[in-house]
Amino acid sequence: MKHDPLYEEPELWLLKNVGSFSFEFMGGGKAVVCGYDSEQFESVLGERACVGMVGGVVYVRGPIDTYPADIRCLDLDDEDIKFLDGGMDEFLQHIDRPELRAELSDWTQWKKLRPLLSGRRKPKKAHDLHAFRMDDWVKGRYLLRCCT
């Protein structure tokens, strides 16, 4: 998701879980993953969640396996609870599941993921192509193309 400042910030509300690569390169907005009936998963966010995320916030209820080092997993504050509490009834009405309100409103089960501010991120090292070729290269996986 991206947030165009000319428009209202987008929101995405999900009842259960999401697949891998969720919220990759997210640049704004708010995502809510309720994690309902998802206890069997190691992570309700799948694998490689929030890779490249530079903005926005992801609210999550349920297990989170891993996330990148430049993402912070935080407890909810009063503003977060106000946002979730204020939108939960409308969301549950839209999906015809208002009976889940009490279960999904235990805010101690929720976390929020947000990216580090750009000034707090560690600078990336220059790539060493020889080391990449020797250590990371998987023959047949990477296809290099050039124009002639």
Whether 4 is in a domain gets the answer no
Q: What average pLDDT does the chain have? A: 87
Instruction: Say yes or no to pLDDT of 86 above 70.
Output: yes
Which pLDDT score is estimated for 82?
98
**Mean pLDDT score, 119-146:** 60
Which pLDDT score is estimated for 148?
47
Residues spanned by the domain of 31: 11-136
| Count of helix runs (H) and strand runs (E) in the chain | 3, 5
Structural domains counted in the chain: 1
Environment class of residue 68 by beta-carbon count within 10 Å: exposed (0-12), middle (13-18) or buried (19+)? middle
CA angle 38, 41, 43 (to 5 degrees): 100
Reference 116, options 60, 70, 67, 53; nearest CA is 70
Whether 1 is in a domain gets the answer no
Whether 141 is in a domain gets the answer no
| CATH code where residue 127 lies | 2.160.20.60
3-class DSSP assignment, residue 32: strand
Band (122; pLDDT cuts 50, 70, 90) = low
pTM value > 0.75? yes
| 10 to 26, 29, 61: CA distances (angstroms) | 11, 5, 20
| 68 to 50, 51, 64, 114, 143: CA distances (angstroms) | 7, 6, 12, 11, 26
Q: pLDDT for 12-69, tens place per residue? A: 999 999 998 899 999 999 999 999 999 999 999 999 899 999 999 999 999 998 889 9
Q: The tokens 């050039």 sit on which residue?
A: 146
